Amino acid sequence: MNSLNDIANAIVAPGKGILAADESTPTIAKRFESIGVENTEDHRRAYRELLFTTEGAEDYIGGVILFDETIRQSASDGTPFAELLTSKGIVPGIKVDKGVTLLPFSEEETVTEGLDGLRGRLDEYYELGARFAKWRAVITIGEDIPTWLCIHANAHALARYAAMCQEAGMVPIVEPEVLMDGDHSIDQCYDVTHAILDETFKELRLANVDLGGIILKPNMVISGADAPEQADAQEIAEMTLACFYETVPAAVPGVAFLSGGQTEQESTANLNAINALGPHPWEVSFSYGRALQASALRAWGGVAENVGEAQAAYLHRAKMNGLAHNGAYDADMEETD
């Protein structure tokens, strides 16, 4: 598995998707606080080991996004996490952006930082075992936003990041996320998602990025979390595909949706609805964080004796989403699986 296209196809192979385990230290602190667990390095390591050693998860997980601390950690038997994942046929990846900062003269819109020094960091992460990377851009829908400046600045940064990844021999996950936050309609989400995807692919082409060696990690076209009318799975699927067929080139190997605040079952059902309307030019998969981990985190609760139960919860969610990738999921499976 040498070419970027081979790596990308392995990550989003039919029935497989991505576990986003790249929560920053402050973010995972919030997750741990919800279950009453102290946010220590050892607890973070133990929790990630729980996920990475789950037997059978490799049948549904093609790649795992790691945080800087995590890619430097090892399992309790001394095996580095990247090596452990690789031995199971799972491709290790790494979050490389440095988070968002406000655009000049804006109090609401952001651009993602982290391009300075990225080449060197990518080379180091490659040596540590990573074969793909992730960079997240954040687009907010609100009064008179997003502006074209915000859309362009984030698309341009995504393209520069993607080019440097490919130069380093790593598959870039390109993540332009239109947030669910707000009371906007699904039609507004469609328009903004269309705009950011269109601009992102223009910038990727200008940067000479090989579209056959990337994975797109976008939001679904969906109603705002506070919208008075919420679209159902069928409308989400139809609107998402209408948008993507107009903006995402067929050369892209995979579209791995983020969950963006959807519940575990909502994100699975919506992914399934999209695939039920297939086949599509790209593999339509998942790259979920909370939507793969929430039940497992609650089951674990920081107690070693609960590891088996937590792994069972994680495996179940991975399997459900693997089925949704193939358009074979049914809500009844949540109780009978």
Query: Which residue, among 166, 258, 246, has the nearest Cα to 212 in the 3D structure?
Result: 166
Burial category of 203 from C-beta neighbours within 10 Å (exposed 0-12, middle 13-18, buried 19 and up): buried
Number of Cβ within a 10 Å radius of residue 304: 9
Which helix (H) or strand (E) element contains residue 151?
helix 148-167
- The C-alpha angle 93, 168, 256, rounded to 5 degrees, equals 40
Selecting among 23, 49, 109, 175, the annotated active-site residue is: 175
> What angle (nearest 5°) sits at the alpha carbon of residue 323, between those of residues 320 and 325?
110
Of 63, 177, 183, 78, nearest to 130 (Cα)? Answer: 63
Q: Could you give the CA distance from residue 200 to residue 198 in angstroms, rounded to a whole number? A: 6
Q: How far apart are CA 171 and CA 130, in angstroms?
A: 10
Say which of 16, 95, 134, 217 is annotated catalytic.
217
Confirm whether 88 is a catalytic residue: no
- Residue 16 a catalytic site member: no
β-strand partners of 284: 255
Segment holding 300, helix H or strand E: helix 290-300
Q: In the numeric block, which tokens belong to residue 58?
A: 């490799």
The answer to whether 112 and 177 are in contact (CB under 8 A) is: no
By annotation, the residues acting in catalysis are 175, 217
